[in-house]
């Protein structure tokens, strides 16, 4: 795959705009912003490969061009309460008609998910490919574990203004011993669920559970997943127990207690059989790791 600079910019503030102005007017204003993001990409020698929802996926042949476009997008005086957060990475990507795939796209998307409004997060490959002046604009904030990569990716931040708008690692003594989990994804054969800060999901056979599993040995209210204080925890409430199988660590049996989850792995409910699809849930977290 060819090397390319990938910038994924995601508009923030559109939900409030739709609530305030209605779908037609809000859609027009979001579309205008997406068109401007396309103009900025093209003005810096790149191309907007596609827009989907509130996202614009752009590619550039040189790292400096992607960086220049990102800085211009960040400094643009976006109206109507809209803003953006974005991910920037330099790596392999393959373009197809109307889309793009590859390592650089995956990393840029994960970084965009982690970035706050008015912030661009860049991976080390993107920053190290820049000249000294451009590199000085970024602040190193930690590392992120990405599925499929042997080592954690160093993450750098650049913001519109003061550092209080920057993604940060949880401070104090806890920062020395654990990562800051920003979001998590859970998958079964029947669906995909996401958690961000302050949210929770219940797991079990009962109809009112957020994640319903079908096997008879899964309890009606088997457990609860919660992301709070930048820590993702699974709490088992069942009679049969659960098992946590991290991709890069030993299995852990859980019964009537809570355990933290990081990285990627599998949760099994009421069984140790990984082939029991109706009692299996895979997980993947976005973790910022202290230096």
Q: Are residues 46 and 118 in the same domain?
A: yes
Alpha-carbon torsion angle 240, 246, 252, 256, nearest 10: -50
Q: Indicate the number of domains in the chain.
A: 2
Total residues found in the chain within this entry: 291
Question: In this structure, are 89 and 195 located in the same domain?
Answer: no
pLDDT of 282 > 70? The answer is yes
What confidence category does residue 173 fall into, taking pLDDT thresholds of 50, 70 and 90? Answer: very low
Residues 34, 67, 89, 145: is their CA dihedral positive or negative? negative
Residue carrying structure tokens 């390319």: 4
Q: What is the tens place of the pLDDT at every residue in 119-167? A: 999 999 999 999 999 998 898 877 777 766 777 788 888 987 644 455 5
- Residues with Cβ within 8 Å of 120's Cβ and at least 6 positions away in sequence, in order, are 70, 73, 74, 85, 86, 87, 88, 157, 158, 159
pLDDT of residue 230: 85
Q: Residue 115 pLDDT > 90, yes or no?
A: no
Measure Cα distances from 221 to 58, 142, 203, 233 in Å. 44, 37, 6, 16
Model confidence pLDDT, tens digit, residues 80-95: 889 999 999 999 999 9
Indicate if 76 and 15 belong to the same structural domain.
yes
- pLDDT greater than 80 at residue 249: no
Task: Residue 228: give its domain's CATH number.
Answer: 2.60.200.20
Who wins on pLDDT, 179 or 53?
Answer: 53
**Inter-residue contact 243 to 254 (CB < 8 Å):** yes
What pLDDT is recorded for position 287? 81
Closest-CA residue to 15 (of 100, 81, 113): 81
Instruction: Decide if 197 contacts 228 (C-beta within 8 A).
Output: yes
Are residue 76 and residue 98 in the same domain, yes or no? Answer: yes
Q: Quick one: pLDDT band at residue 284, thresholds 50, 70, 90?
A: very high
Same-domain status, 68 and 208: no
DSSP 73: H
Q: Categorize the per-residue pLDDT at 20 as very low, low, confident or very high, splitting at 50, 70 and 90.
A: confident
Query: 119 and 256 share a domain?
Result: no
Verify that 196 and 54 share a domain, yes or no: no
Residue that finishes a domain, picked among 157, 177, 197: 177
- Cβ–Cβ < 8 Å for 4, 65: no
Q: In this predicted structure, what is the pLDDT of residue 259?
A: 86
Average pLDDT, the chain: 86
pLDDT of 170 strictly over 60: no
Alpha-carbon separation of residue 271 from 226, 257, 267, 268 (angstroms): 22, 17, 10, 6
Distance separating alpha carbons of residues 274 and 102, to the nearest angstrom: 29
User: Which residues are CB-contacts of 258 (< 8 A; sequence separation ≥ 6)?
Assistant: 233, 234, 235, 236
What confidence tens digit (pLDDT) does each residue in 178-227 have?
A: 568 889 999 998 899 999 989 999 999 999 999 999 888 999 999 999 99
Residues 275 and 188 in one domain: yes
Q: What percent of the chain has pLDDT over 70?
A: 91
* Same domain, yes or no: 21 and 75: yes
pLDDT at residue number 191: 92
Tell me, yes or no, whether 106 and 65 share the same domain.
yes
**Mean pLDDT computed over 56-79:** 94
254 and 162 in one domain? Answer: no
- Cα–Cα distance measured from residue 51 to residue 89, given in angstroms and rounded to the nearest whole number: 18
Q: Does residue 151 sit in the same domain as residue 32?
A: yes
Q: Which letter does DSSP use for residue 55 in this model? A: E
DSSP H helices, 45-189, are 63-75, 103-114, 124-128, 132-135, 174-177
Question: Average pLDDT of 234-246?
Answer: 91
| End position of a domain, from candidates 177, 197, 213 | 177
- Domain of 208, in residue numbers: 181-287
Write down which residue in 131, 147, 177 finishes a domain.
Answer: 177
């Amino acid at each position: 795959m060819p090397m390319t600079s990938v910038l994924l910019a995601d508009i923030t503030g559109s939900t409030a705009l739709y609530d305030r102005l209605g779908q037609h007017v809000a859609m027009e204003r979001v579309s205008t912003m997406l068109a401007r993001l396309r103009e900025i990409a093209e003005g810096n020698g790149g191309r907007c490969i596609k827009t989907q929802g509130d996202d614009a996926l752009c590619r550039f042949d040189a790292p400096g061009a992607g960086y220049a476009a990102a800085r211009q997008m960040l400094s643009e005086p976006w109206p109507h309460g809209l803003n953006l957060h974005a991910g920037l990475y330099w790596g392999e990507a393959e373009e197809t008609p109307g889309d793009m795939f590859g390592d650089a796209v995956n990393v840029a998307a994960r970084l965009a998910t982690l970035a706050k409004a008015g912030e661009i997060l860049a991976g080390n490959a993107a920053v190290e490919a820049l000249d000294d002046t451009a590199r000085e604009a970024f602040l190193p904030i930690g590392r992120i574990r990405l599925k499929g990569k042997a080592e954690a990716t160093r993450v750098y931040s650049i913001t519109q203004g003061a550092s209080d708008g920057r993604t940060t690692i949880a401070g104090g003594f806890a920062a020395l011993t654990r990562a800051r989990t920003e979001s998590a994804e859970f998958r079964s054969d029947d669906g995909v669920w996401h958690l961000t800060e302050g949210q929770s999901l219940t797991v079990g056979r009962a109809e009112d559970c957020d994640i319903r599993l079908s096997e008879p040995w899964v309890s009606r209210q088997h457990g609860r997943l919660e992301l709070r204080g930048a820590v993702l925890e699974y709490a088992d409430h069942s009679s049969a127990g659960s098992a946590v199988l991290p991709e890069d660590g030993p299995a852990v049996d859980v019964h009537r207690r809570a355990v933290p989850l990081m990285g990627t792995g599998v949760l099994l409910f009421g069984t140790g059989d990984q082939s029991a699809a109706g009692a299996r849930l895979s997980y993947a977290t976005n973790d910022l790791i202290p230096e």
